[in-house]
Structure 1
Amino acid sequence: MHDDLPPGLLDLRRHLAPVVDPLPSPDGWWDGPRRWWGGPLDVEGLALGSVGALIAALAALDRGHGGAQGARRRAATSAAGVASSFDSIRHLRIDGRPLDIWAPMSGFHPTADGWVRLHANYPHHAQRLLAAVGIASPDHLGAALLEQSALDVEATVRAAGGVAAAVRTRGEWAASPVGQAAAGEPWMRFSLAGADPVRPLPQTDAAGLPLAGVRVLDLTRVIAGPSATRLLGALGADVLRVDPPQHPELPDAHLDTDFAKRSAVADLREAEQLLRVRALAGEADVVFLGYREAALARFGLDPDALRADFPHLAVVALNAWGWDGPWADGRGFDSIVQAACGIAHLYGTPPQEGTHDGAQRPPGWRPGALPVQALDHATGMGMAAAAVGLLAARGRGIAGSARLSLIATANELLGAAPPAVPETQTDLSVPLNRAESPYGTLDFVPPPLLLDGAQLAYPRVPVRYGSSPLAWGTGA
């Protein structure tokens, strides 16, 4: 087990200082090699460090529960567990079948002067993309994009409510108004106040899971938020995820991230259903938010409104581009942020011999991507750590909210020094569990945590999407 916490990504726990005082320094919290994916950035340090932040928050929560008796459940992780968890969707099998992750129009596309990355996995984003480019069929996408600059495609698709980003260098991103606004975004942005009246945390016996009795309302989608709440569910929380019927979650994303929780659907445009969701928020301990803040504000579900109405509540919110600047309320995904901020350019590689990519900057070059969707998963780990940290602070009469973003996670990764070990690629073992589900036999990666040396497990597989009632603790 490794005890050291060198400066940099492994010490992401430092961002918890506003809510965790003194900051725990768990001994021997991870095991295994320091690098395994390789590449120009320290993605392994980001992954390990984000899980380490959660481990530190759990130690603080146990310290608050245990008082003079000290922590009751010691958390740790391993390189193999972290690596597998950050790539969980590619390891998931349904009756032996791998998942088809990307839609046909999603990915990198050459333009008249460079490259653009598109995200069209969700049907409504695909429709907006086609309308923005002015074509009726995906078959004509490539030709249409070659007639426009990358920045023009980005602007047109974004204006239509779609999701796109021009592939920029780090310098181009830093010089842009959006990049300048995001440059100082902290990994965790806390807003704290006294909790009056103080609501004590649920108490569990020494053998119980750390979050037993805690209620988590999950209003997130895709990877970052749902991966955080599935881990909180494994730690004992009662997690209820609520999705809008007009834009359902993709089936594969539901199967990957909705372990250890229940799944409900509510149309917030219907007054009765909105009142029920707000009542659930008032009965919760933590609310996770992953939708655009302007959209949530229409329903009184943005962080400030929730904290004003329910002072005991811990609110953890996520966005793509940070909380200030021209894109603060813009749509974005891990792959899109990588393209915009310079990561895709940094990971660019020549195409295979004999192929032609159509790009004019530079010829014979193609953008690349991180080995896993590390911005999503590391941000999700940060959200889980922030939630646990806020729960620990509640025991001291402090409540509040935390805001995280994919671009802030990218800033941490891009700003970190390379690790002082050789670049290498190591094949790590992939821990897999098997269970029956409403969708068939699932082979899946367990949570990346051990408690007192025992592997943490998900208490349930994903239920049928949208099948759960809008209520706490009432079966499936």
Structure 2
Amino acid sequence: MNATVTYSPRRWWAGPLDVEGLALGSVEAAAATVNLYAGKPGLFRTTSALTAAAFDSFGHLRIAGRKPQGFAPLSGFHRTGDGWIRLHANYPHHEQRLLQALGATSPEEAERRLRSMAALEAEAAIQSNAGIAAAVRTRSEWLGSDMGRAASLGAWVAFEFADGTADGLGLRDFGEESSGGNSAGRGSGQAEALPLRGLRVLDLTRVIAGPVATRLLAALGADVLRIDPPAFPEIEDQFVDTAFGKRSAEADLSLPGNQHRLRQLLPAADVVVAGYRHGALDRFGLNPRELLASHPGLVVVTLDSWGSAGPWSGLRGFDSIVQAACGIAHVYGKDNHDGEWRPGALPVQALDHATGYGVAAAAIHLLARRREAGTGGAAHLSLARTAEELFSLGRNTERPSEVSAPDYRSTDSTYGELRYIGPPLTDGGQPLDYPFPPPPYGGSPLAWV
């Protein structure tokens, strides 16, 4: 984070780690890159209040007056025979795989099964059945494992360019050292236009981190087309939170016809953001190196849970699961009112949101480089590597202070009236907003406007 910028308050969430530093640093990275791209240092800024609200956008959201649905009953921490495990079962297919792995037919039966198993035994059984779980590890246990060592390698954002060179940037490395020029992208020379106006973003992401990134790109003017698989629809409330300013299409990419239509989209795309488990989209020709070989001017940013190396690189995961594995849940653990120690969690899903703003920063950084070098490039981030950035910040020892009340906004949508939080940036001192509300899920054609 740029040391010359002072935020007040600097701490607003209780807890042992500097989650505020991670949040502010990731949003500031996005602001710095878009200012560099626009050639206007200081144009886009953030504040403590804007960042705090944006990192809890799901919690602030109201859909036709109701709170969105949070974690499913089976998701969360569960006691095992020798410790604790965290499960994720928000999606029906993940819940089914988890129950099958435990030989259970209900959450109650799964709970009983887990208490008869060791945490690592349950973790292995669930993961081998494509379910999603992680034993609660101490920080030293994670760092001493092959998975932890692999996750800590390299920079927060790892870049690979079309000419074969590579680079990396950490949370504190993004800045505005040069002007970056004034061009606003394909077909746009309007100085007052949003900086990404005219750019096309193919959004192949789900859940939170990737959609947060592309939601910000949409707020900055990009045409974002999100594609989801019909067989595994996104959770509706989650989609509503992160789909502002986008168009939404459904397509089974295993079908040859849809693969052909996807190939037709790529030549006119500026950015591809992919947020599935590592290597999951390679069979559709969406490996970053293959994409750059076919489309040298493309910007490709990928994100996953565990990184591109190590024994867990191909596993599914979520923010909460990474927290359990890497030591965060243990650090936030405490005794409950009965005197029993229980693992804890970050005050918000900060790994998701910080990774999302890092993805947006990486995409804009590569767009700026493309303008100068004439070729695109690729970047990769992971939730596990973002956790390492959080630990590297140390502890925030200031006492928590209240931030300003959120700036709630409202809009009509096909889901009813929405109360929502805008992007965590101001544009020339004015709050940035999304161009339109979340669209009907899957209601857009698989084509550019």
Q: TM-score, normalised by structure 2?
A: 0.93
User: In the alignment, which residue of structure 2 is the partner of 1:359?
Assistant: none
For residues 57-206 of structure 1, what are the structure 2 equivalents within 5 Å?
57-63=33-39, 71=40, 74-194=43-163, 201-202=185-186, 203-206=188-191
Conserved? CA contact 2:303–2:381, under 8 Å: yes
User: In the alignment, which residue of structure 2 is the partner of 1:230?
Assistant: 215
Q: Which amino acid aligns with 1:255?
A: V
Q: TM-score, normalised by structure 1?
A: 0.87
CA drift at 1:73 = 7.5
Report whether the alignment pairs 1:450 with 2:426. Answer: yes
Distance in 1 between residues matched to 2:11 and 2:199, nearest whole Å = 35
User: In the alignment, which residue of structure 2 is the partner of 1:416?
Assistant: 393
Distance in 1 between residues matched to 2:295 and 2:107, nearest whole Å = 46
CA separation of 1:178 and 1:73: change in aligned 2, threshold 3 A: closer
Distance in 2 between residues matched to 1:457 and 1:400, nearest whole Å = 29
Distance in 2 between residues matched to 1:186 and 1:194, nearest whole Å = 20
Conserved? CA contact 1:168–1:341, under 8 Å: yes
Identity of aligned residues (%): 53
Equivalent residue in structure 1 for 2:378, among 392, 397, 401: 401
CA drift at 1:138 = 1.8
User: In the alignment, which residue of structure 1 is the partner of 2:342?
Assistant: 366
Report whether the alignment pairs 1:351 with 2:348. Answer: no
Report whether the alignment pairs 1:434 with 2:410. Answer: yes
Q: Which amino acid aligns with 1:138?
A: P
CA drift at 1:275 = 1.2
Equivalent residue in structure 1 for 2:236, among 242, 251, 257: 251
Q: Which amino acid aligns with 1:415?
A: S
In angstroms, what is the RMSD of aligned CA positions? 1.7
Distance in 2 between residues matched to 1:324 and 1:162, nearest whole Å = 20
User: In the alignment, which residue of structure 2 is the partner of 1:340?
Assistant: 325
Conserved? CA contact 1:278–1:301, under 8 Å: no
User: In the alignment, which residue of structure 2 is the partner of 1:293?
Assistant: 278
CA drift at 1:322 = 1.2
Distance in 2 between residues matched to 1:278 and 1:85, nearest whole Å = 34
Residues 391-411 of structure 1 show CA distances to partners (whole Å, capped at 9, x for unaligned) of 000111242100000011000
Report whether the alignment pairs 1:5 with 2:2. Answer: yes
Residues 49-88 of structure 1 show CA distances to partners (whole Å, capped at 9, x for unaligned) of 001111111122122xxxxxxx288100111110010000
CA separation of 1:102 and 1:150: change in aligned 2, threshold 3 A: same
Distance in 2 between residues matched to 1:41 and 1:439, nearest whole Å = 37
Report whether the alignment pairs 1:54 with 2:30. Answer: yes
Conserved? CA contact 1:185–1:322, under 8 Å: no
CA drift at 1:200 = 9.7
Unaligned runs of 5+ in 1: 7-26, 64-70, 354-362
Q: Which amino acid aligns with 2:298?
A: L
Q: What is the SS of the residue equivalent to 1:440?
A: coil
CA drift at 1:293 = 3.3
User: In the alignment, which residue of structure 1 is the partner of 2:167?
Assistant: none
Distance in 2 between residues matched to 1:31 and 1:96, nearest whole Å = 33
For these two proteins, the number of residue pairs brought into alignment is 429
Equivalent residue in structure 2 for 1:283, among 260, 268, 273: 268
Distance in 1 between residues matched to 2:409 and 2:376, nearest whole Å = 37
Unaligned runs of 5+ in 2: 165-182
Conserved? CA contact 1:200–1:395, under 8 Å: no
CA drift at 1:136 = 1.4
Distance in 2 between residues matched to 1:284 and 1:115, nearest whole Å = 45
Q: Which amino acid aligns with 1:430?
A: P
Equivalent residue in structure 2 for 1:380, among 356, 368, 372: 356
Residues 4-52 of structure 1 show CA distances to partners (whole Å, capped at 9, x for unaligned) of 933xxxxxxxxxxxxxxxxxxxx75x75311111211000000000011
Equivalent residue in structure 1 for 2:300, among 306, 310, 315: 315
Conserved? CA contact 2:88–2:94, under 8 Å: yes
Conserved? CA contact 1:73–1:210, under 8 Å: no
Report whether the alignment pairs 1:389 with 2:365. Answer: yes
